[in-house]
Chains A and B, each alone.
Chain A
Amino acid sequence: ETGVTQSPTHLIKTRGQQVTLRCSSQSGHNTVSWYQQALGQGPQFIFQYYREEENGRGNFPPRFSGLQFPNYSSELNVNALELDDSALYLCASSLKLGPKDTQYFGPGTRLTVL
């Protein structure tokens, strides 16, 4: 059984650019959630994808968007990067079974915006 993987591990971009982060969910899981973790803080929910549809969104602007593919892998896209977007981006996968789903996290992508 493979765990959650993310790519790339590190990324440096400049303000105004666009970035795409990728996540492969754990085998057997059908739901992917994305979180942003700023330095010294807890992760904050960006959005969740279930069966290729957005299934809940946190307090993030529309320039944060995502996709889920038929194999349940996912992408997070961020347009018009700002300095405050510098953070660790975490992806979590789960098997949606109502409220009792347990989320398993990938190692994260560390994004630096200069």
Chain B
Amino acid sequence: GDSVTQMEGPVTLSEEAFLTINCTYTATGYPSLFWYVQYPGEGLQLLLKATKADDKGSNKGFEATYRKETTSFHLEKGSVQVSDSAVYFCALIPRYGGSQGNLIFGKGTKLSVKP
């Protein structure tokens, strides 16, 4: 079935370090891909999305490119800040199948950024 695999955390970085959180997926056809972020004590919010191959989603300095050939959607940021400390979820909506348009989430990666 459709699934998302993302790198396990926690990830701890120093401020201004480069961030990569790996995400790969398994799905029939070409799903839409998403990154959601959950700050401490809050619900999730959409960070960025891409709906077709080679699309790049970007927001708040974060980027991710939809790579069909490697079935990946890695999240990157060139210089993280303490305020980026959060849990990051990779997710997809399959284009076909019985998911009824529902999101399929990875297990989440906790990022801690130290000053």
Do A and B truly interact? no
| Interface set of A (CB-CB < 8 Å, partner B) | none
Residues on B facing A (Cβ under 8 Å) = none
